[in-house]
Amino acid sequence: CLAAFALNVPAFAAKPLVIGFSQVGAESEWRTANTVSIKEAAKKEGITLKFADAQQKQENQVKAIRSFIAQRVDLIAFSPVVESGWDTVLREAKAAKIPVILTDRAVNVSDPALYATFLGSDFVEEGRRAGRWLLERAKKTPDAAINIVELQGTVGSAPALDRKKGFDEVIAANPKLKVIRSQTGDFTRAKGKEVMEAFLKAEGKKINVLYAHNDDMAIGAIQAIEEAGMKPGKDIVVISIDGVKGAFEAMIAGKLNVTVECNPLLGPQLMQLARDVVANKPVPKRVVTQESVFPAEVAAKEFPNRKY
Ligand code: GYE
């Protein structure tokens, strides 16, 4: 109280909101931008953020959530690395009367009342957008078969499951389009490169298209394609998702053909939702971010507008 007077702050000023946030990790450019957005928005809003990096491990996220419960934070937000296995810890949060907001990735729980709202992209739609771009392009090629290799995101994660689903659904319309190999690259450059090397070893020149569930894996794979003596973007068409700066640079260099945008700048919306949830105001159960598609042809023009 004395300290409050000394700082010229009214003694009755509300205590700052305390949010515990469990982040997936630092696996991609997308994730780095997401973390910065959340930290900056909290700072701007005067919200105390307890931030924990789970290094892509669910067990670390469960530990972080339990520690936020023990610290009695006002609200817990997290981006769940995988979809399943959250019932128990979310029930613990509920029993402690601490509301939970999901950001970026969804969960698969028995009771949707275990979280207040889910803020993030529609990953199935992103997969469809990638598929639609390829369908259009395939119309212009006379090839009998178009062989696709797929680099999936983290096994069991919402974006990997949904981006696969949306893409498969759309390309089914053209029997020429075939996914001949599909494996996880865990959303990282290093893994994307490694798995692409294996694809190239197994299938070589048969590969016409690479569909990567994020830009980082595509960028890693582009290196593998070049090291194999082929031209990414030409010999192998490269499609990815996120729309990070690295992807725009690759498009400008002619090595990536298209990126489907996935907006990581969720911080301001998350802070607003957190305030509303804590104040018991009604919030929509699902908040979807607005996104578009950027083919290589517009990359140079769009590059200066990119914020991540
Ligand atoms: O696409 C990828 C990141 O969950 C949407 O996670 C996110 C994904 C993003 O590692 O780059």
Cα 67 to middle of ligand 1, angstroms: 25
The reply to whether ligand 1 has any atom less than 6 angstroms from the CB of 214 is yes
Alpha helices in the chain (DSSP H): 2-6, 29-45, 58-70, 87-95, 123-139, 158-171, 189-203, 215-227, 245-252, 267-278, 299-302
Question: Distance between CA atoms of 72 and 252, rounded to whole angstroms?
Answer: 48
- Spatial CA neighbour of 163 closest among 117, 208, 119, 211: 211
| 27 ligand 1 Cβ < 6 A | yes
Residue among 22, 24, 28, 186 whose CB has most ligand 1 atoms within 8 A, to mutate = 28
- Whats the size of the chain, residue-wise? 308
Residue 30 Cβ contacting ligand 1 at under 6 Å? yes
How many C-beta neighbours within 10 Å does residue 131 have? 24
The per-residue pLDDT for 200 is 98
Give the ipTM: 0.98
Nearest ligand 1 atom to alpha carbon 213: 1
Atom 8 in ligand 1: which residue has the minimum CA distance?
A: 159
Query: Residue-wise pLDDT tens for the chain (308 aa)?
Result: 445 455 555 556 678 999 999 999 999 999 999 999 999 999 999 999 999 999 999 999 999 999 999 999 999 999 999 999 999 999 999 999 999 999 999 999 999 999 999 999 999 999 999 999 999 999 988 777 999 999 999 999 999 999 999 999 999 999 999 999 999 999 999 999 999 999 999 999 999 999 999 999 999 999 999 999 999 999 999 999 999 999 999 999 999 999 999 999 999 999 999 999 999 999 999 999 989 999 999 999 999 999 99
Q: What pTM value is reported for the model? A: 0.94
